[in-house]
Each structure stands twice: as C-alpha cells, then as structure tokens.
C-alpha cells in the first residue's frame, strides 16, 4: 500500500479487510460502516482510468430490469420502502424492497410480469457477496473526514493486553503505514508477519503492540532485504579519535 502522492494503490481489497483497517481510526463500528457504505453510494464507475471503485463477487436474486443495478449508487441509497442490510465485516449486503421497473425495461416485460402476478408485483430480496473496494478510494474518504494520515500514535493509545488480536494487528498495520508511507502492501504484510513470528517465538499468541517491537521488526526486515545501515565515515571516526586524545 502506498499513499505518497506518486504511486496510488488502486488494487481491490476485501471489504472486511478495509473495515479492519479503518476501525482503529474511526473508533466506532457504526462510523466505519458509514464510511464504507458511502463509497458504494457513489457508484462503481471510477473517476480515473483505473478499475471500478468496488466490485461484487456474487449477486443472487436480482431480477432483470426490476431494481436499480448494484453498481449504481442509487441501489445503495435505500428509500421508498427499500432496505439495505450492510455487513462490511463479512463483505456482504442484502437489498429488500418492492419491484420497480427501470426506465430501460421493455414494455412487453412489464405487461407479462403484471399479468403473471395478478397486477401486484412481489417484493425483491437480493444477496450480495464478496464485496471489494479500491484501497486508494478508501484513503480518499478517510482524508475527506480528517482521519488520514492518522495522528501520531501516543503511548496511551497503544492497545492493552486485553485488546483482541485483530485490533492489535490493525493498530500495528496503521502504525507501519503511517511510519513508512512509501512502502507497498507486500512489504507492510512482511513486517506484520515478522511481528507475528516474534510473538510466536516468545510463546505468545497475541501480536506485540509496543512501538519498540515494531521498530525491531522493521530493522529485521531491512536486514533481510539487504538494506545495510549507514556506516560512519572514516573521516568522522578519525576526528572523534582526535578529540578523545586531546582530552
């Protein structure tokens, strides 16, 4: 993941993963869900040349021409007897409401449906699974609400030992992304894997949440990647020795 203004990360991530990433910043399940739902209410059509703003893995029970398209923001802005049940944690949603023919519906179809149901169309129940969103779109919505980039995490904001593993994991991820905005998602995941390994080596199943532990993981990863620490020049070393001998 990157957010350095030069290379935007347009990859699609699972909605549940996006929820876990936003939650430590929004500090509320309701607010986190509201942020994500707003992305869908703006529709899937991107404003750039990138992929869709969101995708849907599976659509079940969608009758042709009789409800708004799930890729249209209108579908997610329920009113007039409609109801959206949004479940971002599981990457799913459901739409319940009356059948309403779209403007492009063939007249023959409308007549046939009316006759088949004796003039009263039954309600529609649609299930949507495998929802995914673009990571850069998520960051844009966080910036709009003043949640990104996150403020520096202070010691009193570090998750306690009683905090769930998921929350500790997402806290660590948020800290790393803030500290290393130029690193892509693969490298961030590598750091998190190192943190997990250190936790397992210490006999703990929880993710360590101290900044010192994360910094240690960063140092270990840089060593694995062959990023050598800066060496002090011979000139500075001789100068220091000269000052010491004078004393």
Helix (H, G, I), strand (E, B) or coil at 5: coil
Phi/psi at 103 (5° precision): -65, -25
pLDDT score for 225: 61
Here the tokens at position 239 are: 């100068």
Kindly state whether residue 234 falls inside one of the protein's structural domains. Answer: no
Helix (H) or strand (E) holding 217: helix 211-224
Given the structure tokens 């996006």, which residue do they identify?
18
Here the tokens at position 130 are: 């495998």
Q: Assess whether 22 and 129 both reside in one domain.
A: yes
Here the tokens at position 198 are: 């250190």
pLDDT score for 173: 65
Helix (H, G, I), strand (E, B) or coil at 96: strand
pLDDT score for 44: 95
Q: Assess whether 88 and 130 both reside in one domain.
A: yes
pLDDT score for 79: 84
pLDDT score for 238: 52
Query: For the chain (length 247 residues), average pLDDT per consecutive 10?
Result: 52 94 91 95 88 96 85 90 95 92 82 86 93 93 85 47 53 64 68 71 57 67 57 48 49
Contacts of 56 (CB under 8 A, 6+ apart): 70, 71, 128, 129, 130, 131
Residues paired with 86 in a beta bridge: 93
Q: Assess whether 156 and 118 both reside in one domain.
A: no
Phi/psi at 2 (5° precision): -135, 150
Per the structure, the complete domain to which residue 125 belongs is given by 18-135
Provide the number of structural domains found in the chain.
Answer: 2
As a whole number of angstroms, the distance between CA 69 and CA 126 comes to 11
With contact defined as beta carbons under 8 Å apart, do 86 and 37 qualify? yes
Q: Assess whether 156 and 124 both reside in one domain.
A: no
pLDDT score for 244: 45
Q: Assess whether 99 and 158 both reside in one domain.
A: no
Identify the domain boundary among 79, 104, 135: 135
Q: Assess whether 192 and 91 both reside in one domain.
A: no
Q: Assess whether 34 and 119 both reside in one domain.
A: yes
Long-range contacts of 221-228 (CB under 8 A, 24+ apart): 221/187, 221/190, 221/191, 221/194
Kindly state whether residue 235 falls inside one of the protein's structural domains. Answer: no
Kindly state whether residue 44 falls inside one of the protein's structural domains. Answer: yes
Q: What is the pTM of this model?
A: 0.59
Helix (H) or strand (E) holding 58: strand 54-60
Kindly state whether residue 49 falls inside one of the protein's structural domains. Answer: yes
Q: Assess whether 130 and 22 both reside in one domain.
A: yes
Helix (H, G, I), strand (E, B) or coil at 229: coil
Residue length, the chain?
247
Kindly state whether residue 11 falls inside one of the protein's structural domains. Answer: no
Picking from 39, 1, 245, the residue whose alpha carbon sits closest to that of residue 138 is 39
Kindly state whether residue 158 falls inside one of the protein's structural domains. Answer: yes
Alpha helices in 27-70, H assignment, sequence order: 29-41
Q: Assess whether 123 and 155 both reside in one domain.
A: no
Kindly state whether residue 237 falls inside one of the protein's structural domains. Answer: no
Q: Assess whether 128 and 198 both reside in one domain.
A: no
Identify the domain boundary among 103, 135, 167: 135
Q: Assess whether 56 and 159 both reside in one domain.
A: no
Burial of 53 (0-12, 13-18, 19+ CB in 10 A): buried
Q: Assess whether 195 and 96 both reside in one domain.
A: no
Picking from 146, 140, 191, the residue whose alpha carbon sits closest to that of residue 38 is 140
């Amino acid at each position: 993941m990157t957010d350095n203004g030069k290379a935007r990360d347009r990859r699609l991530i699972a909605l549940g993963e996006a929820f876990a990433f936003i939650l430590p910043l929004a500090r509320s399940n309701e607010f986190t869900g509201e942020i994500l739902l707003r992305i869908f209410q703006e529709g899937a059509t991107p404003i750039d040349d990138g992929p869709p703003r969101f995708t849907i893995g599976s659509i079940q029970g969608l009758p042709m021409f009789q409800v708004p398209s799930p890729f249209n923001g209108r579908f997610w802005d329920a009113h007039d007897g409609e109801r959206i049940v949004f479940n971002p944690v599981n990457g799913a949603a459901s739409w319940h409401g009356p059948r309403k023919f779209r403007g492009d519906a063939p007249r023959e179809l409308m007549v046939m449906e009316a006759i088949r149901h004796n003039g009263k169309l039954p309600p529609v129940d649609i299930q949507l699974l495998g929802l995914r969103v673009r990571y850069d779109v998520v960051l844009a919505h966080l910036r709009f609400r003043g949640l990104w980039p996150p403020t520096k995490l202070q010691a009193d904001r570090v998750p306690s030992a009683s905090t769930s593993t998921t929350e500790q994991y997402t806290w660590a991820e948020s800290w790393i992304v803030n500290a290393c905005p130029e690193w892509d998602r693969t490298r961030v995941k590598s750091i998190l894997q190192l943190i997990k390994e250190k936790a397992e080596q210490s006999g703990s199943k929880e993710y360590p949440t101290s900044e010192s532990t994360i910094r240690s993981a960063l140092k270990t990863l840089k060593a694995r990647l062959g990023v050598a620490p800066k060496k002090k020049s011979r000139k500075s070393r001789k100068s220091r020795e000269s000052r010491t001998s004078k004393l």
